[in-house]
Structure 1
Amino acid sequence: MPVRPGRLATMMTSAALALTLLGLSACSAEAEDDGEHLSLADSYAPTHIFAESGVKVFMDELSQASGGGVSFDYYPAGQMGTPRDLVSLNRSDVLDIAPASPAYLADQLPLSSVSDLPGLVEDSCTGAKALFDMMSPGGILYEEEYEPRGLRPLWVSVLPSYEILTVDRTINSPKDLHGLNIRTSGGALDATLDALGAAAVSMPASDAYEALSRKTVDGVAFPFISVLPYKLQEVLGHSTTGLNIGAFAIPYVINEDTWDRLSPQIQKRIERAGKDAQKSLCAAVNTDTPAAIDTIKGSGVEFNTPDAEGMEAFDEKLAPARKLWAENMDSIGKPGTEVLRTYEHNLARYEGASK
């Protein structure tokens, strides 16, 4: 059927108007990208692996993806306060992005400390993938703990295989820990040290050097990758190997109010940058750990793997820890058993996928 000239003109005008509106919409989206300025703070030095392989990757990736339109104010090394302070500032909308480690926030994120239980994780990437699934929208930890607090995890790092490092005592069995004060990051690790017979002393990692120097504590529960940034090898004399008494998880979270005001384009770029940061960070942890062990040994710290009898004694103490944690969570009305089962399932799935 032929189109009359007047009708054709009207159609062409409508099409031109639609294209103009589409162009204006695109320009508006670009303008949103151009104006975004986010604040990010943590308690780690810029040379720490969390900052160098995680935060820096996140900020650089996001800035590049937006053509420089998204910029940051970054406050490292505890400039804005303690780990607990940072979460409070994030929730009150003073900071846009901050770490929210369950170990430091056991009263607020008790279920998320499932990642800190002994004997679960040896590979950082496997642990991060398994945990982030649970912390993402739709995951049990997101729905139980992060969403109700207005927090949205962007990426998570898991430091696996915690060992016990002491100033002047070789640890071969749990009885060697009796009477010792051992620094921990808190959370589930405190209960693990208590089960082993040591007195757990929760404190920020930045305070560990002075506490060891003054003999306020007799040792630390640490992953090897974290010893060097705090120069703890200078004041330590002995370390266990092969115990894997726990892990440490640290998700970086964005305030949900901040998230909601961002354009969909920026939200997608943030999610992509978070995935890149998580991948970069876990790979760096896995790669740098052997070198860290060599450096610690080279500084004079003596490494000791408990003998068969000692390892059996440790296993007897550590084996019930996961079940006891879950039962304790269940007893206060939280789905501890479900969370532990989900985490173990995720770990098995990702471990199987990597083989």
Structure 2
Amino acid sequence: MFRSRKSTLVACLAGLALVLSGCGGIASSGEGRSVELKAASLLPPNGSQSDMIQWFMDELEKRTGGEVETEVVHGGALLSGTDVLPGMKQGRAEAGQIVPAYFPAELPLNNVNMVPMAGADQAARLLAFQDLADGNDDFAAEFERNGLHLIGYLPNASSTVAFNREVTSLDDVRGAKLRIPSQPQSVVWEELGAEPVFMASEEVYEAVERNIVDGVTFPMDTQVANGITEVAKYMAPDIGQNGGAIFAISQTVYDRLSDDVKAVIDELKGEWYAKTAELLTEYEQQACEKFTAAGGTVVLWDDDEQKTIASATEKLATDVWQTEAAKSVDRSAVEQVWSDYTAAVEQHTGEAGYTDGLQTCGK
């Protein structure tokens, strides 16, 4: 019998060991036996990334008839952002939300997602990353080296920066301390006069509330889901579409699953990007409505400001990522990833009918 959903990929290795000792593998082999899988989610529920993870886990439990029991632990309560990759290797979670920016040495090529792309289609970016995972051997090898079985790239809503002080133009950003998660973004914001600050996502709300930082970059829906917009009432576009996270299962855990469970996982992977596109649109619309209803102000850079940002981004961001990635991977592989990535983004642009929610918010 398929069991009712739980809401958390629960299977510490201790629990898995009991299953392994009884049947020689993780998959169930007798009536009443089940595999417990626990997933670490960094963000609270009710955002596109968190709900994408929850959707996958719920469907995995439902479609395996309870052979796999799942639990998702949200808000970084199981593992913090910088602990997910080592935590999965240690067996503290069987699956997790992995932000490549937290692991530049382990996932140097995946950190291409932190290079800002002005006006990029976020749905197209996800498909481009998947193309790299499917078709670029060096890119795919990063998952193998880190013991990861990729499920998919999580939906990343419009990249924004929320400020806890009035901002009406790019000039108002000068001197502002901004939480920025990656070096390619940081060098551009620094060029524009801001002071970049790195901190884990779990620390951001208090930092904004206490004026430790003046602003924070996050996807549009995450700004609202994390409560950032309760204390930061001005929201503007980031320097380009960037960022993102991966959802993966431990390869060791995956290898021990039954063929029937693996078939369900493949089925869900086939539905993944249609679901991400749906959630992107849904949550950006919701975020816009909640933000504006609470008195939030959307600030859009004018044409001259956009040119200033684009010039700084083009001059600095790509080279920062390529130089850093080349410390761990051959430079030719880095350049090939960039070429494949930009071509794939162009190819997939418009396929999902996605429209940037911040650009249309309040209109």
The two structures have a TM-score, normalised by structure 2, of 0.79
Of the structure 1 ranges 145-154 and 155-164, higher mean CA displacement relative to structure 2 is found in 155-164
SS of aligned partner of 2:126: helix
Q: Equivalent residue for 1:156?
A: 153
1:277 CA drift (Å): 4.3
For residue 107 of structure 1, what is the amino acid of its counterpart? A
User: Is the 8 Å Cα contact of residues 102 and 187 (structure 1) preserved in structure 2?
Assistant: no
1:205 CA drift (Å): 2.7
User: Is the 8 Å Cα contact of residues 101 and 111 (structure 2) preserved in structure 1?
Assistant: yes
1:139 CA drift (Å): 4.5
SS of aligned partner of 2:107: coil
| Cα deviation 1:242-295 (Å, max 9, x = unaligned) | x55232211111111112222232222112223434432332112321331232
Matched, 1:239 2:235: yes
Matched, 1:209 2:209: no
State the distance in 2 between where 1:203 and 1:70 align.
35
Q: Decide which structure has the larger Cα Rg and report it.
A: 1
SS of aligned partner of 1:165: strand
1:101 CA drift (Å): 0.9
1:36 CA drift (Å): 2.6
Match of 1:147 among 144, 147, 153: 144
Q: Equivalent residue for 1:21?
A: none
Matched, 1:222 2:218: yes
User: Is the 8 Å Cα contact of residues 154 and 252 (structure 1) preserved in structure 2?
Assistant: yes
| Cα deviation 1:64-105 (Å, max 9, x = unaligned) | 222221112432222223112122111223321111111222
Q: Equivalent residue for 2:4?
A: none
Q: Equivalent residue for 1:312?
A: 307
The number of equivalent residue pairs is 323
Q: Where in structure 2 are there 5+ consecutive unaligned residues?
A: 1-26, 354-363
Q: 1:121 to 1:66 in 2, by over 3 A?
A: farther
Q: Equivalent residue for 1:337?
A: 335
Q: Equivalent residue for 1:40?
A: 39
SS of aligned partner of 1:43: coil
**What percent of counterpart residues are identical?**
19
Higher helix share: 1
Match of 2:72 among 62, 71, 74: 74
| Cα deviation 1:192-220 (Å, max 9, x = unaligned) | 32333322212233322211111100111
User: Is the 8 Å Cα contact of residues 104 and 187 (structure 1) preserved in structure 2?
Assistant: no
Matched, 1:190 2:189: no
| Cα deviation 1:291-350 (Å, max 9, x = unaligned) | 312321232222222233322222221222343235414653343221111111111222
The two structures have a TM-score, normalised by structure 1, of 0.81
State the distance in 2 between where 1:85 and 1:94 align.
10
Q: Equivalent residue for 1:59?
A: 57
For residue 142 of structure 1, what is the amino acid of its counterpart? A
Q: Equivalent residue for 2:294?
A: 299
SS of aligned partner of 1:81: coil
State the distance in 2 between where 1:307 and 1:147 align.
44
Provide the alpha-carbon RMSD of the alignment. 2.6
SS of aligned partner of 2:151: strand
Q: Equivalent residue for 1:84?
A: 82
SS of aligned partner of 2:203: helix
State the distance in 2 between where 1:123 and 1:135 align.
19
For residue 63 of structure 2, what is the amino acid of its counterpart? A
Q: Where in structure 1 are there 5+ consecutive unaligned residues?
A: 1-28
Q: Equivalent residue for 1:113?
A: 111
Q: 1:236 to 1:185 in 2, by over 3 A?
A: same
